Structure 1
Amino acid sequence: MTVETEVAVIGGGATGVGVARDLAMRGVDVALLERGTGLNAGTSGRSHGVLHSGARYAESDPDGAADCLRENRTLREIAPGCVVDSGGLFVRLADDDSAYFERKLDACREVGMDPTRLAPDEIRERVPGIAEAVEEGFGVPDGVVSPARLVAATAASARDHGASIHTGSAVVDIDVGSDSGRLAVHVDGGPTIAADSVVNAAGPWAGEVAAMAGAQLGMRPTRGVMVAVDYPGLGPVLNRCREPADGDIVVPHGEQAVLGTTSVAVDDPDTFEREDWEVERTLSECAAMLPALADAMVERTYWGLRPLYEPDELAREGRGISRDFAVVAHDAAPGLVSVVGGKLTTYRRMAEAVADRVCGDLGVEEPCRTAEEPLPGAGDPERLDQLAREFGAVGPADSDVVRE
């Protein structure tokens, strides 16, 4: 059996459903294929859930930081029920480099973030229990986002505009050599999907998907642990203002705080080690900012994977921090477009870039409208949770808030 469509999107995380929504809103016939039984099963659903202001990337990647700031504001408009307006703080401890702090602060100003410089007593007002070693800090418009709500609402919008969503549809092969010039996507135990274009939005598995079509896509995925502890009332997202390192962020999450994270290269995104030292180091480093974390009860731990693009990573020294994204067309597989890298905050922007490329190939001239149209249930958390359950999108990142 063969199912005809204009575009097949592989991957049911934030980027994949974002691409499906954007294309469907432009009138393109789209089928989204996700190998898991629900959406949001990979990178998106295993993040720490920060809605970045861009401050984390301001000095290393100002263009990426500006993208974050714009998308932060956009998501608050189109999906307020997915976002908690926690605010964020970057704090310098006594042993941290004051010159790095000033560079970070200046870079945030350059991006247009309007950071608020804070003295130690002002920081202690905002974060009771902050370490005595805190020297200074500044406030930024970080927030906390629910990946389950965001992915499910985006998928619902895609469906409302005519896209079809197929979970439990593992792609096993992509044939690019048909006489018709169309691509044939073969699904394990399911129909063959015939499409003019295929979007590879498989995150850490994007290299494997590209290989099915005879194309190469260098990936360097890394794993990172998230440690959720019992810690109600934190307030803002707390970032340690130093060069990127393990255990430098604490995220308020309902009655919990989520601590992150590590960065360890993995060879196989389906089979990788989960080491105790990662949990211990994350707890220890985060406790340098909030000493009470050292004795807080660990409620759960989970590991996420970053879908890092190898050419970008090879160009960096040390631990990569940009998390920019790339849209890759493949000469070896005409019609296949891969999207790699990025972060949850900029998923809509990533989807727009992919849809622009695909629409250009298809001759579709409709503009992107995803930044203007609110998502279904945009301001209704109960409706958003219903959608998350309907799409099987509840993952470790917010299983404490969005109940299955």
Structure 2
Amino acid sequence: MKTLSADVVVVGGGSTGAGVVRDVAMRGYSAILVDRADLGQGTTGRYHGLLHSGGRYVVSDPHSATECAEENAIIARIQAHAVERTGGYFVATHVDDPSWGDEWAKGATDTKVPFEEVSVTEVLKAEPRVNPKISRAFKVEDGSVDGWQMVWSAANSAKLYGAQILTYHRVTNIERDGDRVAQVICTDEKTGEEVRINTNFVLNCAAAWGGQIAHMAGCPDVQVVPGAGIMIAMNHRLTNSVVNRLTYPADGDILVPVHTVCIIGTTDQKADDPDRLEIAWDEVQQMMDCGELLVPGFRKARAIHAWAGARPLVKDSRVGSGDTRHMSRGMSIIDHSERDGLKGLLTIAGGKLTTYRLMAENVVNAMCEQLGESRPCRTADEQVPGSEDKKNYVITHRLEEREHDRFDDQILCECELMSKGMFTRALVDQPKGNFDDLRRQLRLGMGPCQGGFCSMRATGVALQSEHIDVERATGLMRLFLKNRWIGIWPILYGDQVRQTALDNWIFQGTLDVERLPGPTHEEVV
């Protein structure tokens, strides 16, 4: 068994875990982050891309609103390359009560969320596709964020301070020495090797899976409820600003421009298992109807992918067990030394991606307090790698980046302007990564063709450059296509049917990928 040691083990490689390992490392502790899969593969990578202004929660959750407003400015500064300052609007559609805006405005004032009431004319001039029947509007500081860029840049910052990032390491047990945490036992999912990490402290940042991790340490009653929601990406931007309905938070009331697409979201239903989230047909139709309220003709636009994510909501005795919409979005920190008599374990859940840095600061503060040490947080003061110039990204950034090499470096994915050089460099950095791991960093296959053309090109390049052999190439392409198809089936209508039929003819007809020699997608690691 391989043995490692660290002052702190962080379990979970989403935004919270990445923020925590960065904070821990910057305070001078040795740290190891473990996740059973890739960074940002769970809830962080399955959301609508909104960097909250706080406006959504000014009435329903005032404390969260203030936190979002404060962290919005910090994240846009320290992780500028992952944030587009799109701005946003809250608009009262023709089915909404415009007088509710008075309560909203009071809430925004009380929670110190920056806003400005603007005319309908101004909104329609800036966003001509927005429903012309809107009756009232407020301008806010919403933004758009690339969650994967955010997570990886935080992790890379942690690595500069000496932290180790172990992806594809599944925690199988947390061992105790009397009333203290002593070791974390993991299995390397790529090699099957067991890994033992000697440690004094475990920070449980496993989000919707946090209850499972706590149970391994003998703390069985951590009630983290997965609040499942679906989102749908449209093949181009219908708006260039975030557009929210001016109502109490409900389903399908946010439209977010992210890179070259826009995303409508989201539903909110209690899920029994965060690993098995259904994309129900009726919820897809609900999202399309909600899109029509914000942008008439939304249903005629082309939907290219649907997905579901699980919010890690802490059970609230004041809310019914099946009602996740009205559970607080605020963060919760569970000190297991007080609750379960186990020192060296803290669990954090709840919160928002927008507040991930603050969540990390708070839980690491709690750890320092339990250890009787005083080490100040510095994460709000230092840019992460890639954001040193403090420039936020804009939709044209990929075009600008290709200006210098457009004649020399082959484009593999036209939709996302991913070049051969970008792909081969990523293969070197992650020699054991699958194509979905690379997708999360490069956006491979995330455009209108959903991998129909670029996946075979990428496979050929990986094989030609001798990063993989022919059998693994087949298995990786099969796995990539399987994962793309999961999000296509629920939205097969209109133009996307024609695109999907073409992709199917290519892969099942011309290439006959299911009969090529090599491992199945279940066998690929």
TM-score range, shorter chain: over 0.9
SS of alignment partner, residue 308 of structure 1: strand
Indicate conservation of the 8 Å contact 1:222/1:308, yes or no. Answer: yes
Indicate conservation of the 8 Å contact 1:90/1:137, yes or no. Answer: yes
TM-score (norm 2): 0.72
In the alignment, which residue of structure 2 is the partner of 1:187? 186
In the alignment, which residue of structure 2 is the partner of 1:134? 134
In the alignment, which residue of structure 2 is the partner of 1:267? 272
In the alignment, which residue of structure 2 is the partner of 1:90? 90
CA distance in 2, matches of 1:275, 1:180: 45
1:200 matched to 2:204? The reply is yes
In the alignment, which residue of structure 1 is the partner of 2:258? 253
Indicate conservation of the 8 Å contact 1:47/1:304, yes or no. Answer: yes
Task: Choose the corresponding residue for 2:349, options 340, 344, 348.
Answer: 340
Indicate conservation of the 8 Å contact 1:47/1:397, yes or no. Answer: no
Indicate conservation of the 8 Å contact 1:11/1:202, yes or no. Answer: yes
CA distance in 2, matches of 1:321, 1:166: 32
Task: Choose the corresponding residue for 2:283, options 265, 278, 300.
Answer: 278
CA distance in 2, matches of 1:351, 1:91: 33
Deviations 1:45-82 (A, max 9, x none): 11111110100011122221111111100011111111
Task: Choose the corresponding residue for 1:221, options 210, 217, 226.
Answer: 226
CA distance in 1, matches of 2:254, 2:67: 21
Deviations 1:332-365 (A, max 9, x none): 2321100000110000000000110112222332
Structure 1 residues 312 and 61 mapped into 2: Cα distance closer, same or farther (>3 Å)? Answer: farther
Gaps of 5+ in 1: none
Range moving further from structure 2, 313-322 or 348-357: 313-322
Range moving further from structure 2, 270-279 or 45-54: 270-279
SS of alignment partner, residue 333 of structure 2: strand
Indicate conservation of the 8 Å contact 1:252/1:258, yes or no. Answer: yes
Task: Choose the corresponding residue for 1:323, options 329, 332, 345.
Answer: 329
CA apart distance, 1:230: 2.1
Task: Choose the corresponding residue for 2:297, options 292, 296, 303.
Answer: 292
Percent identity for Structure 1 against Structure 2: 34
CA distance in 2, matches of 1:116, 1:46: 30
CA distance in 1, matches of 2:30, 2:333: 21
CA distance in 2, matches of 1:55, 1:92: 14
Range moving further from structure 2, 267-276 or 366-375: 267-276
In the alignment, which residue of structure 2 is the partner of 1:110? 110
Matches within 5 A, 1:15-54: 15-36=16-37, 38-54=38-54
In the alignment, which residue of structure 1 is the partner of 2:149? 149
Matches within 5 A, 1:354-365: 354-365=363-374
CA apart distance, 1:108: 1.2
RMSD: 2.6
Q: Which amino acid aligns with 1:309?
A: V
SS of alignment partner, residue 279 of structure 1: helix
SS of alignment partner, residue 224 of structure 2: coil
Deviations 1:120-148 (A, max 9, x none): 21211121022132101110000001111
Matches within 5 A, 1:367-386: 367-378=376-387, 379=389
CA distance in 2, matches of 1:184, 1:357: 20
Deviations 1:278-305 (A, max 9, x none): 1110011121110121101111111111
CA apart distance, 1:319: 2.4
Q: Which amino acid aligns with 2:165?
A: I
In the alignment, which residue of structure 2 is the partner of 1:10? 11
In the alignment, which residue of structure 1 is the partner of 2:359? 350
Structure 1 residues 313 and 217 mapped into 2: Cα distance closer, same or farther (>3 Å)? Answer: farther
Indicate conservation of the 8 Å contact 2:277/2:309, yes or no. Answer: no
Deviations 1:67-107 (A, max 9, x none): 11111000111111110010010000122123322111221
Range moving further from structure 2, 163-172 or 114-123: 114-123
Structure 1 residues 158 and 5 mapped into 2: Cα distance closer, same or farther (>3 Å)? Answer: same
In the alignment, which residue of structure 1 is the partner of 2:516? none
CA apart distance, 1:6: 0.9
Say which one has the larger Rg. Answer: 2
Indicate conservation of the 8 Å contact 1:151/1:393, yes or no. Answer: no
Indicate conservation of the 8 Å contact 1:16/1:32, yes or no. Answer: yes
Structure 1 residues 265 and 182 mapped into 2: Cα distance closer, same or farther (>3 Å)? Answer: closer
Q: Which amino acid aligns with 1:277?
A: D
CA distance in 2, matches of 1:54, 1:16: 22
Indicate conservation of the 8 Å contact 1:77/1:374, yes or no. Answer: yes
Indicate conservation of the 8 Å contact 1:244/1:321, yes or no. Answer: no
Range moving further from structure 2, 120-129 or 194-203: 120-129
Q: Which amino acid aligns with 1:186?
A: I
Indicate conservation of the 8 Å contact 2:179/2:343, yes or no. Answer: no
Gaps of 5+ in 2: 188-192, 402-417, 431-436, 448-453, 459-525
In the alignment, which residue of structure 2 is the partner of 1:236? 241
CA distance in 1, matches of 2:137, 2:442: 27
CA distance in 1, matches of 2:306, 2:98: 33
SS of alignment partner, residue 98 of structure 1: coil
Q: Which amino acid aligns with 2:355?
A: T
CA apart distance, 1:309: 0.5
Q: Which amino acid aligns with 1:294?
A: R
Higher relative contact order at CA 8 Å, sep ≥6: structure 1 or structure 2? Answer: 1
Q: Which amino acid aligns with 2:333?
A: V
Deviations 1:162-210 (A, max 9, x none): 111101110011112x259442111123211121110110011001111
CA distance in 2, matches of 1:91, 1:321: 24
Q: Which amino acid aligns with 1:202?
A: A
SS of alignment partner, residue 225 of structure 2: coil
CA distance in 2, matches of 1:33, 1:67: 27
TM-score (norm 1): 0.92
Deviations 1:304-335 (A, max 9, x none): 11010113773897722641110111132321
CA distance in 2, matches of 1:145, 1:312: 33
Indicate conservation of the 8 Å contact 2:331/2:350, yes or no. Answer: yes
Structure 1 residues 17 and 249 mapped into 2: Cα distance closer, same or farther (>3 Å)? Answer: same
CA distance in 2, matches of 1:57, 1:153: 28
Structure 1 residues 95 and 138 mapped into 2: Cα distance closer, same or farther (>3 Å)? Answer: same
Range moving further from structure 2, 43-52 or 332-341: 332-341
CA apart distance, 1:272: 3.0
